Amino acid sequence: MASIPEEFHDLFEKRTFAHVATLTDDHDPHVTPVWIDYDVDDDRLLFNTERDRRKLRNIESNASVGLSMIDPDDPYRYLSVIGTVDETTTEHAREHIDELSRRYLDDDYPHPIESERVIVRIRPDEVIV
């Protein structure tokens, strides 16, 4: 298992967008931008989605994911991760999306929730900087 280098932890305090790649049942790539978070204590990348989104359905079939992010202050500084989703949970997911929204939008999450919020936790298997 790899770990996120400490010198990149600041990316999770900024308005850094990550692009998460999952695989469809036909093994086609599906890439989508997400707000990204990091659990330092557990060394897990987190994003929050709704139950009915394509990326979550893909993860339920194949837990392997890739993601990349670019420092919003320096486009030549980036982090890429190949990892495995080791947990999806609805516990505290609503609070988590509000927390992310306050970082990215300076306010609670403004959109109606159509299904159910889910936190996706990714174990980094390989980190590329």
pTM for this entry: 0.94
Q: pLDDT of 101-112, one tens digit each? A: 999 999 999 888
Question: How far, in Å, CA of 49 to CA of 30, rounded?
Answer: 15
Give the CATH number of the domain where residue 105 resides.
2.30.110.10
H-helix or E-strand spanning residue 54? helix 54-61
Contact status, residue 45 vs residue 83, Cβ threshold 8 Å? yes
Q: Tell me which residue range forms the domain holding 70.
A: 6-128
1 within some domain: no
Mean pLDDT calculated for residue range 83-96: 97
75 within some domain: yes
Contact status, residue 87 vs residue 81, Cβ threshold 8 Å? no
Domain count, the chain: 1
Q: pLDDT of 14-58, one tens digit each? A: 999 999 999 999 999 999 999 999 999 999 999 999 999 999 999
